[in-house]
Amino acid sequence: MLGVAAVVLPIVPPESLKPDGTEDPTLRILALLSVTVGLPYFALSSTGPLLQAWFARRYTGRSPYALYALSNVGSLLALLSYPFLFESLWGRREQAVNWSWGFAVFAVGCALTAVLGYLAARGPSAAPLPVAATEDSNGEGAATESPPAEELSRRQLALWILLPACATALLLAFTNHLTIDVASVPLLWVLPLSLYLLTFIITFAGERWYPRRVFLGLAILAAVGAVVFDHLHLGMSVPVAVGLLCTALFILCMACHGEVFRIRPRAEKLTTFYLCVSLGGALGGITVALVIPQLLPMFVEYPMGVLATLACVLLVHAKDPRSPLFAGRPRWAWILLVLMSAGVAGGFGYVTMNRLENTVHMKRNFYGVFMVKESPEDAKIIWNRKLVSGTTIHGMQIMEPDMQVMPTSYFGPDSGIGMVMESFPRRPRRMAVLGLGVGTLAAYGEPGDYIKFYEINPVCVDIANKYFFYLQNSLAECEIALGDARLVMEREEPQNYDIIVMDAFSSDSVPIHLLTAEAFQIYLRHLKPDGVIAVNISNRYLDLRPVIKHSAVSIDFRSTGWVSPQSKNGLASGAVWIFATRDSAFMQSFGKHVEKRRLEFKREPEGDDGHWPKYFGQPLELGQLREIKPWTDDYSNIFQIIK
């Protein structure tokens, strides 16, 4: 298997697998991973159970399960070192080549282990396969291994699958909730995955690290806390919200993996055990990533994961003679547990219904959950609709008939893009907009103008046409190209645009492949010689100024910028824009508008939070920026631009 896996190295996707950018990417991603990393991944992930089986044969009377904890230490080290070390040192192709050399070293080591183990097994001191691998207990019963193979029950096999499935579902559900609904902090997904791996390390290191009764109580409290958090997290600071959510995840995963370890089998069924554990993990991931998004229109895997975990943990205790809750006793404890579980379910139901309040439409697909929210009739603010995904507003429109043509949110007249429209000397204009949102930029269209929106998400196209009216009311000719903007533009003939607006966001994150030097080369091919590239770099946690500046320099463009003001009535949202061009006439005209607005929007005394200027109208400083390595398709490093 290792030899066959070496055939696909290095793990670089061939150009023939590049998508067209218009289809649902789920199956293509799975196919791409299967073709590129599938065989090496299969060989590597099979190594743990294989070496533990060899270990059990070679060293009788010693438990092989500590090796599983050790393997997860390796996984944790790799997870933490990659974004902070290897990604900053090497480009992607260099990473793939160096990883291939590491795989070769691993293959040689595995082969030597097999040969040496075979020779030792044939020697005079060879021992038969042990009947059991015993170890010290934590005082709650010494016989922790399952019965012999012929006595394994279906319930035993089911728990080996269900408990890991719940833990994996929790990992993905909590990660989605954390990175979409709480904060789109870069690399935040590393934290829940690290805690997930840490629970494997702790529980499989030995039973003494998993005090069962303690974690039963903590699991109940974590489930209750998950409900309270879901209701109150919008009023919490980001560090507090992240800390509470990750604590709940850690406790619930400890309960799942701790119970799995307690019902581990004897050594001769070790590989069956790991097969079930892996199957459970896969089923949990498939359920959250593939099944639920197709069946339900909103994020419900977070409450479902908590409730399923709670049910599985209580089931284990109800069926285990060594548990204080065995066979439904004591009755008062079970009544309390059932009432608390019902309260958790009811609490999640209440939060879900509350979240749907004032929602006109909701749709979910690969790119997330998108909700159209409308201001309530008794609200003191003007009647409006917003497109919301997670914590990010992707556009807003005033619904009063005489005000529907007014551009709002990040695109108002005093925004960076509003000033570009005002400063650009030529009429009519040809514009490309990467990212549709609700179609707000169509409001700037004048007779004779042509605006082409590139949008990857078909849900956004449907919503913009059905629930918002910017496209319908525009005086310009508007067209929508469905698909990934860069891939579609790569296939198009030069379009001779006057202005290209890059406003594509996934929640609060800008897609990296639209910011690289190669991406700007594509924009240049479609731009007139005096054209302008406008990039919305608004982000709470990333300073994208040096990235855009380097990419603009790669095509010999000059850069300037503007921080859009934020209105008190909520109709104009603060935004940060950078503009790149070779046209000195545009730069002079834009500079005049900047000076005019700079005097209008005086910066308040507390206008700087220590990391980034708050949203008062002001020029964007592009002089002394941090030094970074230019971003290309082969190299990018988010860690170096975190604010």
The distance from CA 326 to its chain's CA centroid, rounded to whole angstroms, is 40
* pLDDT of amino acid 609: 44
What was the pLDDT predicted at 445? 93
pLDDT, residue 316, reads: 92
User: In this structure, which amino acid lies at residue 609?
Assistant: D
CATH of 411-641, one of 3.10.310.30, 3.40.630.10, 3.40.50.150, 3.40.980.10: 3.40.50.150
Give the pLDDT confidence score for residue 517 in this predicted structure: 95
- The residue behind tokens 């533990």 is 52
Q: How far apart are CA 71 and CA 201, in angstroms?
A: 8
Max CA pair span of the chain: 94
- The C-alpha atoms of residue 227 and residue 451 are separated, in whole angstroms, by 45
Q: Which pair of tokens denotes residue 520? A: 């700007």
Question: Which amino acid would we find at residue 14?
Answer: P
Output the pLDDT for position 128. Answer: 54
Q: Which helix (H) or strand (E) holds 491?
A: helix 485-491
* pLDDT of amino acid 610: 40
Q: Residue for token digits 């050594």? A: 267
In sequence order, the β-bridge partners of residue 506 are: 509
Can 151-357 and 411-641 be said to share one CATH topology? no
Confirm or reject CATH 4.10.280 for domain 151-357, answering yes or no: no
Q: Which position has the token pair 């934590």? A: 138
The whole-angstrom separation of Cα 578 and Cα 502 is 10
**Bridge partner residues of 385 (DSSP):** 374, 397
3-state secondary structure of 476: coil
- Quote the pLDDT of residue 139: 37
Ranges in the chain, pLDDT < 70: 123-151, 234, 506-508, 599-616
207 within 8 A of 144, measured Cβ to Cβ: yes
* CA 34, chain centre distance (Å): 21
Q: For the chain, what are the domain ranges?
A: 151-357, 411-641
Nearest alpha carbon to residue 257 among 174, 161, 164: 164
- Residue-wise pLDDT for 185-229, tens only, equals 778 899 999 999 999 999 999 888 999 999 999 999 999 999 888
Contact 63, 142 (CB under 8 A): no
Q: Please tell me the predicted confidence (pLDDT) of residue 504.
A: 81
Residue 379, pLDDT score: 74
Q: How confident is the model over 109-167, as pLDDT tens digits?
A: 999 999 988 887 776 655 555 444 444 444 343 334 555 444 678 888 999 999 999 99
pLDDT tens-digit series, residues 413-436: 888 899 899 888 778 999 999 999
Under 8 Å between Cβ of 517 and 550: yes
End-to-end CA distance of the chain: 45
- Crossing angle of helices 331-355 and 301-319, rounded to 10°: 170
**Predicted pLDDT of residue 141:** 39
Q: What number of other Cβ atoms are within 10 A of residue 272's Cβ?
A: 15
**558-564 vs 575-581, strand pairing mode:** antiparallel
Instruction: Tell me the per-residue pLDDT of 539-566, one tens digit each, with 9 for 90 and over.
Output: 888 889 999 999 999 999 999 988 887 7
